[in-house]
Structure 1
Amino acid sequence: MEKSPKSFIAAILLCFFLGSIGIHRFYVGKIGTGILQIITFGGLGVWALIDFIMIVIGKFTDSEGRRITA
């Protein structure tokens, strides 16, 4: 699977600090789900936590399906 050009560290930091409003999803190009995270406050934190875990283990993808890995 192809690696994303997006920064792994930037994605982790954005998710950790601003995950409840979905900024990390805007960063990777997932605009629609980013808007949903803003509306739901990151699924009341659950969605943001799941995204954070997915980024850390290397399973989170950008809008084109490429993995964001270190």
Structure 2
Amino acid sequence: MTDASPNKTHSKTIGYLLWIFGFTGAHRFYFGKPITGTIWFFTGGLLLIGWVIDLFLIPGMDKKADQKYTSGPIDYSVAWALQTFLGVFGVHRFYMGKWLTGLLWLATGGLFLIGYVVDYCTLNGQIDEINRRARGLPAA
């Protein structure tokens, strides 16, 4: 699949941009790997060794994310950009149509940052659920 494929959910380009900050695990969270993303965050990308290796693993992570997650009206890359830069204000939740929790995030600073962190681990699943419902597919 190329980045222009209609079934494409994630972007290698975004993955590589996030890889620049990969010692924080950002690219791993984006590709739906919250456990290793957390490990990368607390170990500096496995002391930068895993970070360098990931440079070559991103195409495979992208392919697996495309197979695992459902495309639909909510764009994963847009939601992740909103989560990363404006998530504490709930902007990503407004984008996904979650107005009540968006307002809660806005009023409480991402539910006192705890919700912001939880969303980093669960955002792909949230988007997948919305996209599955929009396409009339059963829950994963």
1:47 aligns with 2:115: yes
Q: CA shift at 1:59, angstroms?
A: 1.2
Which structure has the larger Rg over C-alpha atoms? 2
Letter of the 1:59 counterpart: G
Distance 1:38 1:67 in 2: 24
Letter of the 2:103 counterpart: I
Paired residues, what number?
A: 64
The structure with higher relative contact order (CA 8 Å, sep 6+) is 1
Instruction: Tell me the residue number matched to 1:18.
Output: 86
Is the contact between residue 73 and residue 131 of structure 2 (CA under 8 Å) also seen in structure 1?
Answer: no
Distance 2:88 2:103 in 1: 11
In structure 2, the gaps of 5 or more residues are 1-69, 133-140
Normalized per residue, the structure richer in helix is 2
Which residue among 31, 38, 63 is the counterpart of 2:99? 31
Aligned partner of residue 84 in structure 2, secondary structure: helix
Q: CA shift at 1:45, angstroms?
A: 1.0
Which residue among 43, 68, 74 is the counterpart of 1:6? 74
Q: CA shift at 1:52, angstroms?
A: 1.7
In structure 1, the gaps of 5 or more residues are none
Is the contact between residue 23 and residue 34 of structure 1 (CA under 8 Å) also seen in structure 2?
Answer: yes
Is the contact between residue 74 and residue 127 of structure 2 (CA under 8 Å) also seen in structure 1?
Answer: no
Runs of 4+ with >3 A deviation: none
TM-score (norm 1): 0.76
TM-score (norm 2): 0.41
Percent of pairs with identical residues: 32
Q: CA shift at 1:67, angstroms?
A: 4.4
